[in-house]
Amino acid sequence: MASPATKSELILALEQIEREKGVRKEDILKMIEGAITSALRKHVGKNALIECLIDPDTAAITAYVTKKVVEKVENPELEIALSEAKRAKAGVGAGEDLRLPIHTEEFARIAAQTAKQVLVQKIREVERDNLFEEFKPKEAELVSGSVHRFLERSIIIDLGKTEGILPPREQIRRERYNVGDRIRAVILKVDKAQRGPQVLLSRASPLFLKRLFELEIPEVNEKTIEIVEIARDPGYRAKVVVRSNNAKVDPIGACVGIRGSRIRGIMNELAGERIDLILHHEDFATYLGNTLAPAKYSSVRILSKEDKHAEIVVPNEQLSLAIGKEGQNIRLASKLTGWTLDVKSEGQRSDEAKAREESQAAALKEVEGVGPKVADVLIKAGMSDIYRIATFKAEDLMTLQGIGEKTAAKIIAGAQKYVKEHPREAAPVPATPPAAEPVCEEASTVASDAGAEGVE
């Protein structure tokens, strides 16, 4: 066994490692004790009751084996003869447990080797844990690194203390990199792995674009301007919904910057990805229309709140812009809102309305009690829908010129008979005694320049 002075030096070294690497001295000593115990078992017996202790100040090793004193030994690993036990300790009796010291000098080398192995292993474990603890809180943060190597289609990024992986699904498709190129990305997730923390990076996520806005636009970083929602087709187009928490600050103007200086810096980082800035609006129908930016819209009609389905009408010349190349613009608007959006031009809407009116007028003339003249009166008054007429009362029709009480009753009776013979799946619109055809839009708004602004 080495001298206490030497062992003290070992303890000092362990204490220094504890300070620098965070590896507890007690943990290393305990692992060394376990290793020596295992080595002693190979020498004394695998079933032997062995105890090993290392002094935390001098590193002196002491070991003991405990055996039961018996008259006749049947298991030498666990038992000791009474005559032999008395030579080791006077006065011991049969049935007692005798604790015998073991000479550990020959196991000092094992202790040294074990200490080295334990240190290397423990330091690696601690470094891995420390890296994980360092990077785990950085999830959702923007980081910068250099391209280290390629693993199939994934890019391995050197982040300094560890590496991050940029898988194909989180890359911008139009980008190409070489080893050594600088690259920025957002940390999506940090997991523990055998060789250290596994850091998943992304340049394609909406979060990455949000972090770039916070980096480039002080008002966004200060929360004066709030980013409400983002939808992206990475590398091609993105839609960003913004609103201002300060009435004096124009959110779109602040994000664009003087002559587009701010937004252009973000677009350049994203391989030229075009960004549509959309003004958030408390009126949801207006907000739906704004999401078609840079296209202008004329009106929005909520078809079903339950199914999240709406129809947006745009000027004829805006139709192709509203739909976008291969449907990209309307697809991103739907992704942004979570709604199914049907886009139609004013011409298409007018043609549909005209066709609907002609169909209703043709059917109206088949109703009993409705002659050509009465049909013309009803059509001009916007009452060509037989299913609606069937829900009216006589006084609702008597306001029209040339229709008296008897005629009104005949018209309603004929409409009810027609509806009975020609039922339709959709429930009829509730009775409304209008002076003109009721508006079916839940909201109809004209887009303003500020409400549907896009950046190309």
Interval 361-396: pLDDT, tens: 677 767 776 777 777 777 777 777 778 888 888 887
Residue 112: pLDDT band with limits 50, 70, 90: low
Q: Are residues 264 and 293 in the same domain?
A: yes
Ramachandran sector of residue 235 (left: φ over 0; alpha: ψ -120 to 50; beta: rest): left
The whole-number pLDDT of residue 225 equals 95
Cα dist from 263 to 166, 276, 355, 399, 413, whole Å: 25, 10, 46, 59, 64
Q: Which helix or strand (DSSP H or E) is residue 332 part of?
A: helix 328-337
Paired tokens of 275: 């960004």
Residue 442: pLDDT band with limits 50, 70, 90: very low
Task: Determine contact, residues 333/291, Cβ cutoff 8 Å.
Answer: yes
Query: DSSP label at 236?
Result: T
Q: Are residues 386 and 340 in the same domain?
A: no
Q: pLDDT by residue (tens digit) across 154-212?
A: 999 999 888 999 999 999 988 999 999 999 999 999 988 877 788 999 999 999 999 99
* Predicted TM-score (pTM) above 0.85: no
The whole-number pLDDT of residue 230 equals 96
Encoded amino acid at 82, one letter = L
Greater model confidence, 178 or 456: 178
Q: Are residues 318 and 371 in the same domain?
A: no
Residue 284: pLDDT band with limits 50, 70, 90: very high
Encoded amino acid at 300, one letter = V
Q: What is the mean pLDDT of residues 212-235?
A: 94
The whole-number pLDDT of residue 248 equals 92
Q: Are residues 216 and 240 in the same domain?
A: yes
Q: What is the mean pLDDT of residues 96-111?
A: 76
Q: Are residues 177 and 223 in the same domain?
A: no
The whole-number pLDDT of residue 11 equals 79
Rounded CA-CA distance 411/397 in Å is 9
Give Cβ neighbours of residue 418 (< 8 Å, ≥ 6 apart).
363, 366, 367, 368, 386, 390
Residue 134 domain-assigned? no
Beta strands in 262-379 (DSSP E): 274-279, 299-304, 309-314, 340-345
The whole-number pLDDT of residue 110 equals 67
Residue 430: pLDDT band with limits 50, 70, 90: very low
Of 395, 174, 350, 392, nearest in space to 269 by CA: 174
Range of lowest pLDDT (229-238, 249-258, 352-361): 352-361
Assess whether pLDDT exceeds 50 at residue 21.
yes
Q: Are residues 286 and 396 in the same domain?
A: no
Q: Are residues 200 and 211 in the same domain?
A: no
Query: DSSP label at 446?
Result: P
Give Cβ neighbours of residue 7 (< 8 Å, ≥ 6 apart).
55, 58, 59, 60
Q: Are residues 197 and 224 in the same domain?
A: no
The whole-number pLDDT of residue 8 equals 61
Q: pLDDT by residue (tens digit) across 294-350?
A: 999 999 999 999 999 999 999 999 999 999 999 999 999 999 999 999 999 988 888
The whole-number pLDDT of residue 1 equals 41
Q: Are residues 120 and 144 in the same domain?
A: no
The whole-number pLDDT of residue 239 equals 96
Q: Are residues 234 and 284 in the same domain?
A: yes
If one counts the domains in the chain, the total is 4
Residue 432 domain-assigned? no
Greater model confidence, 440 or 242: 242
Cα dist from 412 to 39, 361, 394, 403, 437, whole Å: 104, 15, 7, 12, 17
Q: End-to-end CA distance of the chain, in Å?
A: 79
Paired tokens of 207: 């979060």
Residues spanned by the domain of 219:
207-347
User: Which contacts qualify for 258-264: CB closer than 8 Å, 24 or more apart?
Assistant: 260/455, 262/216, 262/217, 263/455
Residue 62: pLDDT band with limits 50, 70, 90: confident
Rounded CA-CA distance 148/170 in Å is 17
Rounded CA-CA distance 456/454 in Å is 6
Rounded CA-CA distance 329/348 in Å is 19
Assess whether pLDDT exceeds 60 at residue 450.
no
Residue 250 domain-assigned? yes
Dihedral over alpha carbons 106, 109, 114, 117 (to 10 degrees): -160
Residue 132: pLDDT band with limits 50, 70, 90: confident
Rounded CA-CA distance 291/295 in Å is 9
What is the average pLDDT value for the chain, to the nearest integer?
82
Greater model confidence, 317 or 454: 317
Give the residue from 149, 169, 204 where a domain finishes.
204
Q: Are residues 182 and 313 in the same domain?
A: no
Backbone angles phi, psi at 442, to 5 degrees: -75, -35
Q: Are residues 213 and 262 in the same domain?
A: yes
Name the β-bridge partners of 455. Answer: 275
Residue 455 domain-assigned? no
Range with the largest mean pLDDT of 50-59, 64-73, 76-85, 281-290: 281-290
Give Cβ neighbours of residue 334 (< 8 Å, ≥ 6 apart).
340, 341
Residue 312 domain-assigned? yes
Task: Give the whole-number percent of the chain exceeding pLDDT 70.
Answer: 87
Rounded CA-CA distance 99/67 in Å is 7
